[in-house]
Structure 1
């Protein structure tokens, strides 16, 4: 009888754990960076606010988040869209670009010259350990986001993923950072096999500086970093292989 009770309890715990497991995110994400012509960033933001975002939704795209760099000397708009898959993405963009409302909005916005000089696109899928983009639990207060890109030494991306999932993310949380979405580039893109892209959220710039200072000095992090590099036979990232950009949400971003 005792054995039956124990087995029953174990089965109940197992079912509870499975019920709490987050379904794997299989969506395709697209990280897009728009380089606005000098003096045209405000006009670009107005076009997105008044027209583009609504037309994206009309054609089945999901507006995830829109940001501009805190130090925006290059007039950038950074945003993320999501789709069920690549076929859905291509169909959505085909419909969007053929939409007469889009053509009218684009023409009207460019009466005094084109708004963009360059567009960068990066296709991404979620890592197995990604918690997804962070909901705002700070009473609606606007947060500071951080977009980080790591380039690993050849073949070391699995080692980096392991370190993040087992150590880094927990230590980020310990030191007041909010883990966001963690991505790997879709195969076939430059450095796709050696790149990790992820987002963090901070209360503000002062909080970010404090969190990073404490994280880097944490003996648990120092030990985890050393152990991971010893196991891999050296650094997991190439020289200058960690890039960080601090971003602030624009007024029409759903994610703030």
Structure 2
């Protein structure tokens, strides 16, 4: 039953608006590879892990590594119908004999992963969502951005994105993908917006951001929202963080 639901999500859920997508549970996982082990980790995902995820009802959404990957990390996004489906899927995956064999064979010379970070996410009402498995035909660069607001101002930030920011991103050649809020119970869940963008390439990203920040409509919208809320919506000085990502060869979305 889980596999059927996940297949339906892959076929339609990722290509619909947030009204459908926000019914899904997303899991953002960051694997910190041991020194010199990132290539072996990617090989294990390519040859075994992704297929076994699908077998157990998980939807592979996207897989990336940072453009400047000094910390040897793999970042990927999965989706599930709900938390119960997530837990059942992982239980089945971890007990799968094919997974145990693949893991053991890949770790003959030592473990591949030193640390795993997990975040549980739900789409915002204004999230365009990720498309189904698709290759844009170009070497796009992706961008993951995390905003931490001052206490109580996440709704104001959501409103600014919904009313202004998303359309201005489009105007300046930036592709909007998934926009997420953190599920309750996680650190800073009430104050965090995490989202993904795509750009034609790194130069295009620089050009788009420069033009966006200088756009009079954005300048006015930003000022109005800050005037109404007593200053910057995000905490200063580091309430906005970003990392540029490139998709790996087996990522459903490129």
- TM-score by length of structure 1 reads 0.90
Aligned equivalent of 2:52: 55
CA drift of 1:93 comes to 0.2
CA drift of 1:21 comes to 7.3
| Matched-pair contact (CA < 8 Å) for 1:65–1:79 | yes
Distance 2:132 2:107 in 1: 35
Aligned equivalent of 1:211: 208
Superposition map of 1:97-176 within 5 A = 97-134=94-131, 139-176=136-173
Quick one: structure 1 residues 32 and 136, their matched pair in 2 at CA, closer, same or farther if it must change by over 3 Å?
A: closer
**Radius of gyration: which is bigger?**
1
Aligned equivalent of 1:249: 247
Quick one: structure 1 residues 204 and 39, their matched pair in 2 at CA, closer, same or farther if it must change by over 3 Å?
A: same
Distance 2:90 2:133 in 1: 29
Structure 1 runs not aligned, ≥5 long: 1-19
Quick one: structure 1 residues 223 and 68, their matched pair in 2 at CA, closer, same or farther if it must change by over 3 Å?
A: same
Query: Partner of 1:237: helix, strand, or coil?
Result: coil
Instruction: Give yes or no for the alignment of 1:178 onto 2:175.
Output: yes
| Matched-pair contact (CA < 8 Å) for 1:34–1:120 | yes
Q: Give aligned pairs, total.
A: 237
Aligned equivalent of 2:192: 195
Query: Partner of 1:255: helix, strand, or coil?
Result: coil
Distance 2:171 2:44 in 1: 40
Distance 1:82 1:23 in 2: 15
CA drift of 1:235 comes to 0.9
| Matched-pair contact (CA < 8 Å) for 1:152–1:195 | yes
Superposition map of 1:29-44 within 5 A = 29-44=26-41
Distance 1:53 1:21 in 2: 25
Quick one: structure 1 residues 62 and 34, their matched pair in 2 at CA, closer, same or farther if it must change by over 3 Å?
A: same
Aligned equivalent of 1:24: 20
Question: CA offsets, 1:83-131, max 9 Å, x none?
Answer: 0000000000000000000000000000000001100000000000000
CA drift of 1:142 comes to 2.7
Structure 2 runs not aligned, ≥5 long: 1-15
CA drift of 1:138 comes to 7.9
4+ residue stretches of structure 1 with deviation over 2 A? Answer: 20-24, 134-139
- TM-score by length of structure 2 reads 0.91
Quick one: structure 1 residues 217 and 199, their matched pair in 2 at CA, closer, same or farther if it must change by over 3 Å?
A: same
Quick one: structure 1 residues 127 and 203, their matched pair in 2 at CA, closer, same or farther if it must change by over 3 Å?
A: same
| Matched-pair contact (CA < 8 Å) for 1:33–1:121 | yes
Quick one: structure 1 residues 151 and 23, their matched pair in 2 at CA, closer, same or farther if it must change by over 3 Å?
A: closer
Superposition map of 1:85-96 within 5 A = 85-96=82-93
Distance 2:160 2:98 in 1: 47
